[in-house]
Amino acid sequence: MIDGQAAARPRARGIRRGAYLLPSLFTMGNMVFGFYAIICGLHGTFRRGSLFILLAAALDSVDGRIARMTGTESEFGK
């Protein structure tokens, strides 16, 4: 450990990798909730399905904001 900056570099890369993954996790949650809402609709549990649609919409609005805040937007997300 020659200076404090050399020790901080690998950690910063690890944080950046985690920040890039976070919006994708919200997108995956959005897909799971949306799929479950479809399943609920097929089974006739419309109230439960509508709840999962609302949860999916909430995650959809949050994932873009998180990506912009962390500077991890992708071409797919634009």
Q: What is the CA radius of gyration of the chain?
A: 18
pLDDT at 77 over 80: no
Percent of the chain with pLDDT over 90: 38
Beta carbons within 8 Å of 7's beta carbon, 6+ residues apart:
1
What pTM did the predictor assign?
0.66
Check: CB of residue 27 under 8 Å from CB of residue 63. Answer: yes
In this structure, the chain runs to a length of 78
pLDDT at 40 over 70: yes
DSSP state of 17: H
Percent of the chain with pLDDT over 70: 68
Average pLDDT for 35-61: 95
Q: Tell me the pLDDT tens digit for each residue of 7-34.
A: 555 555 555 556 667 788 888 999 999 9
